A and B are shown apart, each in its own frame.
Chain A
Amino acid sequence: MTLFGTRIPMMASLVFWLLVWEIVGQLDVMFLIPPITSIVSAGFDLVQTGSWQDASMITLRSFLYGMSLAIVVGVPLGVLMGRVKVIDNIFGLWVNMFVSAPLSALVPILMILFGMGETTVIVTVFLFAVWIIVLDARAGVMQVPTSLVEMGRSYGASRWTIFSKIILLSALPEILAGIRIGLIRGVKGVVIGQILVSIIGYGELFELYSRSFDMERFWALTMLLFVAAMLLSAGVEHFEKRIEYYAGAR
């Protein structure tokens, strides 16, 4: 972007809004918005506390379990749906319904089923992430070019070889795209799950800080989460680009 002939660097808008925030904070307009500098220093304090470290471990663990489950279930299910008509008919409707459903509404039911603990959060992460992984894996498998499969057949590949050497590799970019979106949804899942359960991990901290009007820490925690989610997404995207590079020209 250029303004009056000078190039404005990318991060300029971020810096600008942080400045506005800082000014509003310093003016002490409302207690909800403390100055950004005090949020940052609260953040540095926060990451050193045992409660934050414990909460982070719990959060990370729930996220990893939930995501692994979503990938382990989602990718094979999507691939099967893309290859086997019957399975597609059985699950298609449900997957499409859940992918856009407001899943937060289900969390209270999950709490009844799985208790007020980590299991509920893991299941929430799973439910947030799995559907898009299924749909993308399915789409990837379905759009494998017919000629590529025919090529395998005409050069004598067995059904299994065609599946493992052609179909899966051909669908890999879509499968990874699904996992990336799934990861982002999973982050939402872990936070929403914990907030609704509200006695473990970051949910407990959020609950604590907002009740005690500890806005500095509240914002510091929120921003840490934002940054973590963005880094995660960027990391997967980077990995994905390397794959896309190979699959760049279908």
Chain B
Amino acid sequence: MANSALARGDNLKFATGNDAVVQVRDIFKNYGDVEALRGINLEFERGKLTTLLGPSGCGKTTLLKIIAGLVPATSGEIRVNGRAVTGPGPERAFVFQDFALMPWATVLRNVGFGLELKGMPAAERDRTARRYIEQVGLAGFEQKYPHELSGGMRQRVGIARAFAVNADVLLLDEPFSAVDEQNRRKFQEDLLRLVELEKKTFIFVTHSIEEAVYVSDRIVLLSPRPGRVSQIIDPMIDRSASPDDIRRDAGYLDVVEEIWQGLRQYAE
């Protein structure tokens, strides 16, 4: 793992300084004797989508939950907009791998739940929720219950809920892993559109290399046990091309290959 130290040293110098919304400083996380994360230093810029990519067990979800304030770090510090994180906060919104929708509540109520917790009046809450339901392509499904929706549609509800609270930072924990392949591609395209539209900071966790390269402005490769930053890659994909062209683009395929070469040592 000689290249890991090198990549970390190089890339971070370039990453610091400018418009960093989320700063991760010297994060360590131990679960009892198990070291899950070791010395993570990262910065996430406004308006960019950064992906945490790595094999299972590399602590990428743990890192995301530490940033969310859902899991405490053993040591180190997270700063969002310059303020240290001690728990969840309104400037961060989370999208869950298993959607985490309330099965007893309609789409409208689920999407508005974050606003309901903020104490927003019902009329205004519903108006906002409806706007985001429409934006994720679920108009007409406001009064449906989660079990009446497909997996893909459920995650759209989860994403609409996260957008509705108007947080600066969106944390997405493998949001498309429970969605079938066709929908997944559609989702990735929609996500790019939303990144463009919303100008928020996205931190995205996935284990799919293709997905990471396709959607990310920057990819952070984590190595497993304990999780460390092993490489940072800026794919530089030209997104003005059509989705199908991007997936055939030589630059895109090269990045996928480069990441695979970096990760294959962990695959068995």
Complex contact A161–B117 (CB within 8 A): yes
Instruction: Write out, one digit per residue, whether chain B residues 42-80 have a CB within 8 A of any chain A CB (1) or not (0).
Output: 000000000000000000000001001110000000000
Q: Name the interface residues of A228-250: CB closer than 8 Å to any CB of B.
A: 243, 246-250
Tell me if A145 is interfacial: C-beta within 8 Å of chain B: yes
Q: A150-B94, A154-B68 are in contact. Are A248 and B147 (CB under 8 A)?
A: yes
Asked if residues A154 and B103 are in contact (CB atoms below 8 Å), the reply is no
Residue among A151, A154, A156, A246 with most chain B CB within 10 A: A154
In the assembled complex, B152 has its CB within 8 A of some CB on chain A: no
A249 CA to B154 CA, complexed, in Å: 11
Q: Check: A64 CB closer than 8 A to any chain B CB.
A: no
Which residues does chain B contribute within 8 Å of A172, judged by CB atoms?
A: 104
B98 touches A156 (CB 8 A): no
Q: Is A155 an interface residue (CB 8 A)?
A: yes
Decide: B70 and A169 in contact? CB cutoff 8 A: no
Is the Cβ of B93 less than 8 Å from the Cβ of A155? yes
Q: Does B226 contact A (CB under 8 A)?
A: no
Contact B117 A169 (CB under 8 A): no
A153 to B118, CA, bound (A): 12
**Is B102's CB under 8 angstroms from A166's CB?**
yes
Q: Are B90 and A246 in contact (CB under 8 A)?
A: no
Which single member of A147, A154, A161 contacts B92 (CB below 8 Å)? Answer: A154
B93:A150 contact, CB within 8 angstroms: no
Give the number of residues in B that approach A within 8 Å (Cβ atoms). 28
Contact string against A for B residues 83-106, beta-carbon threshold 8 Å, 1 for contact and 0 otherwise: 000011110111011111011100
Contact present for A150 and B113 (CB under 8 Å):
no
- Given contacts A145-B98, A151-B94, whether A156 and B103 have CB atoms under 8 Å apart is no
Q: Does A148 contact B (CB under 8 A)?
A: yes
What are the residues of chain A within 8 A of B224 when measuring CB–CB? none
The answer to whether A155 touches B97 (Cβ under 8 A) is no
A147 in contact with B98 (CB, 8 Å): yes
Contact A154 B102 (CB under 8 A): no
Taken together as a complex, chains A and B put the C-alpha atoms of A172 and B68 apart, in Å, by 29
Given contacts A150-B94, A150-B96, A161-B117, contact A155 B165 (CB under 8 A): yes
CB distance from A160 to the nearest CB of B (A): 12
Q: How far is the CB of B139 from chain A (nearest CB, A)?
A: 21
Q: Mark B118-150, 1 if CB is under 8 A from A, else 0.
A: 100000000000000000000000000111000
Once the chains are docked, how many angstroms separate the CA of A250 from the CA of B65?
22
The 8 Å CB contact of B104, one of A147, A157, A169, is A169
Q: Given A154-B94, A155-B114: A148 and B146 within 8 A (CB)?
A: no
Chain A residues with Cβ under 8 A from B146's Cβ? 249
CB-CB under 8 A from B88, the residues of chain A are: 153-156
Give the residue name and chain of the A residue nearest to B165 (CB).
A155
The answer on a CB contact under 8 Å between B113 and A246 is: no
Complex alpha-carbon distance, A249 and B150, angstroms: 11
Q: Is the CB of B103 within 8 A of A249?
A: yes
Query: Does B103 lie within 8 Å of A247, measured CB to CB?
Result: yes
Bound Cα distance from A161 to B119, whole angstroms: 12
User: What sequence of 0s and 1s flags, for each residue 156-169 of chain A, a beta carbon within 8 Å of any chain B beta carbon?
Assistant: 11000100001001
CB distance from B112 to the nearest CB of A (A): 11
A153 touches B103 (CB 8 A): no
State whether A156 and B90 are in contact (beta carbons under 8 Å apart), knowing that A248-B147, A249-B147 are contacts in the complex: yes
8 Å CB contact of A150 from B70, B103, B114, B147: B70
User: Would A148 and B102 be within 8 Å (CB), given that A155-B113, A249-B147 are in contact?
Assistant: yes
Taking Cβ atoms with an 8 Å cutoff, the residues of B that contact A are 65, 68-70, 87-90, 92-94, 96-100, 102-104, 113-114, 117-118, 145-147, 161, 165
Q: Which residues of A contact B (CB under 8 A)?
A: 145, 147-148, 150-157, 161, 166, 169-170, 172, 243, 246-250
Q: Which 7 A-B pairs have the closest CB atoms?
A: A249-B147, A151-B100, A155-B114, A147-B100, A154-B94, A246-B104, A248-B147
